[in-house]
Structure 1
Amino acid sequence: MQSKATTVEEYMAALPADRQKAMAQLRKVIKKNLPKGFKETMSYGMIGYVVPHSKYPAGYHCKPEEPLPFLNIASQKNFISIYHMCVYGDAKLHKWFADEHAKRSTKKLDMGKSCIRYKKEEDIPYDLIGELASKITPDEWISIYESKYVR
Protein backbone atom coordinates (compact mmCIF):
# COMPACT_ATOMS: atom_id res chain seq x y z
CA MET A 1 0.00 0.00 0.00
CA GLN A 2 1.89 3.02 -1.26
CA SER A 3 0.93 6.58 -0.48
CA LYS A 4 0.62 9.24 -3.16
CA ALA A 5 1.95 11.86 -0.70
CA THR A 6 4.83 13.92 -2.05
CA THR A 7 6.17 15.07 1.32
CA VAL A 8 6.72 13.39 4.66
CA GLU A 9 4.44 15.94 6.30
CA GLU A 10 1.66 15.17 3.82
CA TYR A 11 2.13 11.44 4.45
CA MET A 12 1.94 11.90 8.22
CA ALA A 13 -1.14 14.13 8.02
CA ALA A 14 -3.00 11.53 5.94
CA LEU A 15 -2.48 8.73 8.48
CA PRO A 16 -5.34 7.59 10.70
CA ALA A 17 -5.07 9.09 14.18
CA ASP A 18 -4.21 5.74 15.75
CA ARG A 19 -1.17 5.36 13.46
CA GLN A 20 0.15 8.93 13.67
CA LYS A 21 1.55 8.47 17.17
CA ALA A 22 3.50 5.30 16.35
CA MET A 23 4.80 6.66 13.05
CA ALA A 24 5.84 9.94 14.72
CA GLN A 25 7.68 7.98 17.41
CA LEU A 26 9.43 5.84 14.78
CA ARG A 27 10.52 8.94 12.86
CA LYS A 28 11.80 10.54 16.05
CA VAL A 29 13.87 7.54 17.15
CA ILE A 30 15.24 6.93 13.65
CA LYS A 31 16.21 10.56 13.07
CA LYS A 32 17.84 10.73 16.52
CA ASN A 33 20.00 7.67 15.85
CA LEU A 34 20.60 7.66 12.10
CA PRO A 35 24.22 8.46 11.21
CA LYS A 36 24.90 11.73 9.44
CA GLY A 37 24.62 11.58 5.66
CA PHE A 38 21.24 9.91 5.23
CA LYS A 39 18.31 12.05 4.11
CA GLU A 40 14.64 11.73 5.02
CA THR A 41 12.35 11.82 1.99
CA MET A 42 9.36 10.14 0.43
CA SER A 43 10.63 6.96 -1.19
CA TYR A 44 8.48 4.34 -2.91
CA GLY A 45 5.32 5.75 -1.34
CA MET A 46 6.76 5.49 2.18
CA ILE A 47 8.86 7.62 4.49
CA GLY A 48 12.39 6.83 3.44
CA TYR A 49 15.91 7.36 4.66
CA VAL A 50 18.23 7.32 1.70
CA VAL A 51 21.78 7.96 0.60
CA PRO A 52 21.22 11.06 -1.55
CA HIS A 53 22.57 11.40 -5.08
CA SER A 54 24.98 14.06 -3.79
CA LYS A 55 26.72 11.27 -1.82
CA TYR A 56 26.07 8.36 -4.19
CA PRO A 57 25.39 9.68 -7.72
CA ALA A 58 24.76 6.22 -9.20
CA GLY A 59 21.52 5.90 -7.24
CA TYR A 60 19.63 2.65 -6.82
CA HIS A 61 20.57 0.03 -9.44
CA CYS A 62 16.92 -0.87 -10.09
CA LYS A 63 16.01 2.79 -10.63
CA PRO A 64 19.11 5.00 -10.93
CA GLU A 65 17.01 8.17 -10.87
CA GLU A 66 16.09 7.25 -7.27
CA PRO A 67 18.56 7.73 -4.39
CA LEU A 68 19.94 4.61 -2.74
CA PRO A 69 17.32 3.40 -0.22
CA PHE A 70 18.44 2.40 3.23
CA LEU A 71 15.43 2.34 5.54
CA ASN A 72 11.72 2.96 5.06
CA ILE A 73 8.77 3.09 7.41
CA ALA A 74 5.15 2.74 6.40
CA SER A 75 1.68 2.42 7.77
CA GLN A 76 0.20 -0.53 5.92
CA LYS A 77 -3.37 -1.82 6.11
CA ASN A 78 -2.79 -4.34 8.91
CA PHE A 79 0.56 -3.33 10.38
CA ILE A 80 3.35 -0.80 10.63
CA SER A 81 6.35 -1.86 8.62
CA ILE A 82 10.03 -1.06 8.80
CA TYR A 83 12.09 -1.92 5.75
CA HIS A 84 15.81 -2.02 6.53
CA MET A 85 17.88 -2.87 3.48
CA CYS A 86 20.97 -3.75 5.49
CA VAL A 87 19.17 -6.37 7.57
CA TYR A 88 18.63 -8.10 4.23
CA GLY A 89 22.15 -7.39 2.95
CA ASP A 90 24.24 -8.17 6.03
CA ALA A 91 23.80 -11.57 7.73
CA LYS A 92 25.59 -10.44 10.90
CA LEU A 93 23.26 -7.47 11.32
CA HIS A 94 20.24 -9.69 10.66
CA LYS A 95 21.36 -12.13 13.36
CA TRP A 96 22.08 -9.31 15.82
CA PHE A 97 18.63 -7.80 15.24
CA ALA A 98 16.79 -11.13 15.57
CA ASP A 99 18.70 -12.00 18.76
CA GLU A 100 18.13 -8.57 20.30
CA HIS A 101 14.46 -8.57 19.34
CA ALA A 102 14.00 -11.87 21.18
CA LYS A 103 15.60 -10.32 24.28
CA ARG A 104 13.69 -7.04 24.17
CA SER A 105 10.23 -8.01 23.00
CA THR A 106 7.67 -10.49 24.25
CA LYS A 107 6.27 -10.74 20.71
CA LYS A 108 7.58 -13.11 18.08
CA LEU A 109 9.53 -11.33 15.35
CA ASP A 110 7.41 -10.99 12.21
CA MET A 111 10.00 -10.41 9.51
CA GLY A 112 10.56 -11.01 5.83
CA LYS A 113 13.85 -10.40 4.01
CA SER A 114 13.98 -6.71 4.87
CA CYS A 115 10.49 -6.04 6.21
CA ILE A 116 9.80 -5.98 9.93
CA ARG A 117 6.07 -5.88 10.77
CA TYR A 118 4.24 -4.78 13.92
CA LYS A 119 0.47 -5.20 14.18
CA LYS A 120 0.17 -3.14 17.36
CA GLU A 121 1.88 0.12 18.23
CA GLU A 122 2.68 -1.10 21.74
CA ASP A 123 4.68 -4.01 20.30
CA ILE A 124 7.23 -1.78 18.55
CA PRO A 125 10.60 -1.84 20.40
CA TYR A 126 11.44 1.79 19.60
CA ASP A 127 14.83 1.76 21.34
CA LEU A 128 15.86 -1.34 19.38
CA ILE A 129 14.75 0.25 16.09
CA GLY A 130 16.80 3.33 16.99
CA GLU A 131 19.82 1.17 17.72
CA LEU A 132 19.32 -0.69 14.43
CA ALA A 133 19.20 2.64 12.58
CA SER A 134 22.50 3.67 14.17
CA LYS A 135 24.49 0.57 13.18
CA ILE A 136 25.44 1.45 9.58
CA THR A 137 26.85 4.69 8.16
CA PRO A 138 26.13 5.78 4.59
CA ASP A 139 29.65 4.81 3.54
CA GLU A 140 29.29 1.35 5.12
CA TRP A 141 25.91 0.87 3.43
CA ILE A 142 27.34 1.89 0.05
CA SER A 143 30.14 -0.64 0.50
CA ILE A 144 27.74 -3.45 1.48
CA TYR A 145 25.36 -2.50 -1.32
CA GLU A 146 28.06 -2.46 -3.98
CA SER A 147 29.51 -5.78 -2.80
CA LYS A 148 26.11 -7.50 -2.96
CA TYR A 149 24.02 -5.82 -5.63
CA VAL A 150 26.12 -3.84 -8.08
CA ARG A 151 27.79 -5.95 -10.73
Structure 2
Amino acid sequence: MKYDVNTPDDYMNSLPEDRKEVIARLRQLAADHLPEGFEETMSYGMIGYVVPHTLYPAGYHCDPQLPLPFLNFASQKNHVAVYHSGVYANEALYKWFVEEYPNHSGRKLDMGKSCIRFKRMDDIPYDLLGELFGKMTPDEWIELYEKNVKR
Protein backbone atom coordinates (compact mmCIF):
# COMPACT_ATOMS: atom_id res chain seq x y z
CA MET A 1 0.00 0.00 0.00
CA LYS A 2 1.29 3.43 -0.84
CA TYR A 3 0.85 6.19 1.70
CA ASP A 4 0.94 9.85 0.65
CA VAL A 5 3.13 11.12 3.49
CA ASN A 6 6.33 13.11 3.89
CA THR A 7 7.85 11.93 7.16
CA PRO A 8 8.20 8.67 9.09
CA ASP A 9 5.90 10.06 11.79
CA ASP A 10 3.26 10.92 9.16
CA TYR A 11 3.61 7.36 7.85
CA MET A 12 3.05 5.99 11.34
CA ASN A 13 -0.03 8.17 11.85
CA SER A 14 -1.55 6.92 8.59
CA LEU A 15 -1.36 3.23 9.56
CA PRO A 16 -4.16 1.09 10.98
CA GLU A 17 -3.71 0.43 14.70
CA ASP A 18 -2.53 -3.19 14.33
CA ARG A 19 0.18 -2.10 11.90
CA LYS A 20 1.25 0.93 13.97
CA GLU A 21 2.41 -1.34 16.76
CA VAL A 22 4.45 -3.54 14.41
CA ILE A 23 6.10 -0.68 12.51
CA ALA A 24 6.80 1.13 15.79
CA ARG A 25 8.60 -1.95 17.11
CA LEU A 26 10.61 -2.22 13.88
CA ARG A 27 11.57 1.46 14.12
CA GLN A 28 12.69 0.92 17.71
CA LEU A 29 14.77 -2.08 16.64
CA ALA A 30 16.41 0.07 13.98
CA ALA A 31 17.11 2.82 16.53
CA ASP A 32 18.56 0.30 18.98
CA HIS A 33 20.55 -1.90 16.59
CA LEU A 34 21.53 -0.11 13.39
CA PRO A 35 25.14 1.02 13.58
CA GLU A 36 25.80 4.75 13.72
CA GLY A 37 25.67 6.54 10.39
CA PHE A 38 22.39 5.32 8.93
CA GLU A 39 19.62 7.93 8.80
CA GLU A 40 15.86 7.44 9.01
CA THR A 41 13.88 8.99 6.17
CA MET A 42 11.00 8.36 3.82
CA SER A 43 12.27 6.25 0.96
CA TYR A 44 10.08 4.95 -1.88
CA GLY A 45 6.92 5.64 0.13
CA MET A 46 8.18 3.63 3.11
CA ILE A 47 10.14 4.30 6.26
CA GLY A 48 13.73 3.88 5.19
CA TYR A 49 17.22 3.85 6.60
CA VAL A 50 19.85 5.15 4.24
CA VAL A 51 23.52 6.01 4.00
CA PRO A 52 23.31 9.80 3.69
CA HIS A 53 25.17 11.79 1.06
CA THR A 54 27.47 13.10 3.80
CA LEU A 55 28.88 9.55 4.10
CA TYR A 56 28.41 8.46 0.50
CA PRO A 57 28.22 11.45 -1.87
CA ALA A 58 27.73 9.26 -4.97
CA GLY A 59 24.24 8.31 -3.77
CA TYR A 60 22.12 5.54 -5.22
CA HIS A 61 23.18 4.48 -8.73
CA CYS A 62 19.58 4.44 -10.02
CA ASP A 63 19.18 8.07 -8.97
CA PRO A 64 22.33 9.69 -7.53
CA GLN A 65 20.25 12.48 -6.00
CA LEU A 66 18.87 9.89 -3.58
CA PRO A 67 20.91 8.61 -0.65
CA LEU A 68 22.01 4.97 -0.70
CA PRO A 69 19.10 2.83 0.61
CA PHE A 70 19.74 0.04 3.10
CA LEU A 71 16.63 -0.91 5.09
CA ASN A 72 12.90 -0.22 4.64
CA PHE A 73 9.66 -1.11 6.41
CA ALA A 74 6.30 -1.17 4.67
CA SER A 75 2.76 -1.95 5.63
CA GLN A 76 1.33 -3.69 2.59
CA LYS A 77 -2.23 -4.87 2.01
CA ASN A 78 -1.67 -8.43 3.29
CA HIS A 79 1.64 -8.23 5.11
CA VAL A 80 4.35 -6.13 6.68
CA ALA A 81 7.57 -6.14 4.69
CA VAL A 82 11.13 -5.61 5.82
CA TYR A 83 13.49 -4.85 2.95
CA HIS A 84 17.13 -5.41 3.93
CA SER A 85 19.67 -4.74 1.19
CA GLY A 86 22.42 -6.53 3.06
CA VAL A 87 20.75 -9.94 2.78
CA TYR A 88 20.36 -9.32 -0.94
CA ALA A 89 24.01 -8.43 -1.51
CA ASN A 90 25.79 -10.65 1.03
CA GLU A 91 25.35 -14.39 0.50
CA ALA A 92 26.78 -15.27 3.92
CA LEU A 93 24.35 -12.90 5.67
CA TYR A 94 21.45 -14.31 3.65
CA LYS A 95 22.45 -17.87 4.55
CA TRP A 96 22.81 -16.94 8.24
CA PHE A 97 19.35 -15.37 8.30
CA VAL A 98 17.65 -18.27 6.51
CA GLU A 99 19.29 -20.82 8.81
CA GLU A 100 18.57 -18.84 11.96
CA TYR A 101 14.95 -18.00 11.16
CA PRO A 102 13.42 -21.37 12.21
CA ASN A 103 14.97 -20.90 15.66
CA HIS A 104 12.87 -17.74 16.13
CA SER A 105 9.57 -18.49 14.39
CA GLY A 106 7.27 -21.46 13.98
CA ARG A 107 6.19 -20.22 10.57
CA LYS A 108 7.76 -20.80 7.18
CA LEU A 109 10.05 -18.00 6.05
CA ASP A 110 8.39 -15.88 3.33
CA MET A 111 11.26 -14.09 1.66
CA GLY A 112 12.31 -12.69 -1.69
CA LYS A 113 15.75 -11.37 -2.58
CA SER A 114 15.70 -8.58 -0.02
CA CYS A 115 12.08 -8.65 1.15
CA ILE A 116 11.01 -10.50 4.27
CA ARG A 117 7.21 -10.70 4.48
CA PHE A 118 5.21 -11.15 7.67
CA LYS A 119 1.54 -12.01 7.22
CA ARG A 120 0.94 -12.80 10.90
CA MET A 121 1.53 -9.76 13.07
CA ASP A 122 1.74 -11.95 16.17
CA ASP A 123 4.68 -14.01 14.93
CA ILE A 124 7.41 -11.56 13.94
CA PRO A 125 10.86 -12.58 15.23
CA TYR A 126 11.86 -9.17 16.56
CA ASP A 127 14.98 -10.46 18.33
CA LEU A 128 16.28 -11.98 15.12
CA LEU A 129 15.50 -8.83 13.13
CA GLY A 130 17.31 -6.70 15.71
CA GLU A 131 20.35 -8.92 15.36
CA LEU A 132 20.13 -8.67 11.55
CA PHE A 133 19.88 -4.88 11.68
CA GLY A 134 23.11 -4.67 13.69
CA LYS A 135 25.23 -6.85 11.42
CA MET A 136 26.35 -4.24 8.87
CA THR A 137 27.82 -0.76 9.26
CA PRO A 138 27.35 1.97 6.66
CA ASP A 139 30.98 1.52 5.56
CA GLU A 140 30.50 -2.23 5.15
CA TRP A 141 27.30 -1.63 3.17
CA ILE A 142 29.05 0.90 0.89
CA GLU A 143 31.88 -1.55 0.23
CA LEU A 144 29.46 -4.40 -0.50
CA TYR A 145 27.23 -2.17 -2.62
CA GLU A 146 30.14 -0.99 -4.75
CA LYS A 147 31.43 -4.55 -5.15
CA ASN A 148 28.20 -6.45 -5.79
CA VAL A 149 25.37 -4.09 -6.68
CA LYS A 150 26.58 -0.90 -8.34
CA ARG A 151 27.28 -1.40 -12.01
Q: TM-score range by the shorter chain?
A: over 0.9
Quick one: distance in 2 between partners of 1:4 and 1:121? 23
Residue in 2 that maps onto 1:105: 105
Identical columns (%): 58
Equivalent position amino acid for 1:45 in 2: G
CA deviation after TM superposition for structure 1 residue 18, in Å: 1.2
The answer to whether the 8 Å contact 2:3/2:14 transfers is no
Aligned residue pairs, count:
151
Matched residue SS, 1:72: strand
Please say if residues 51 and 67 of structure 2, whose CA atoms lie closer than 8 Å, have aligned partners that are also in contact: yes
- Map 1:25-64 onto structure 2 (within 5 A): 25-64=25-64
The 5 A counterparts of 1:1-151 are 1-151=1-151
Give the C-alpha shift of residue 3 in structure 1.
2.0
Runs of 4+ deviating beyond 6 Å: none
For the residue of structure 2 that corresponds to 1:123, the secondary structure is: coil
TM-score, scaled to structure 1:
0.98
The answer to whether the Cα contact below 8 Å between 2:22 and 2:121 also exists between their aligned partners in 1 is yes
Residues 18-42 of structure 1: CA deviation (Å, up to 9, x unaligned): 1101110111112100000000000
How far 1:121 sits from its partner (Å)?
1.2
The root-mean-square deviation of aligned C-alpha atoms, in Å, is: 0.8
Where structure 1 has 5 or more consecutive residues not aligned to the other structure, the ranges are none
Alpha-carbon offset, residue 2 of structure 1: 2.6
5+ long unaligned stretches in structure 2: none
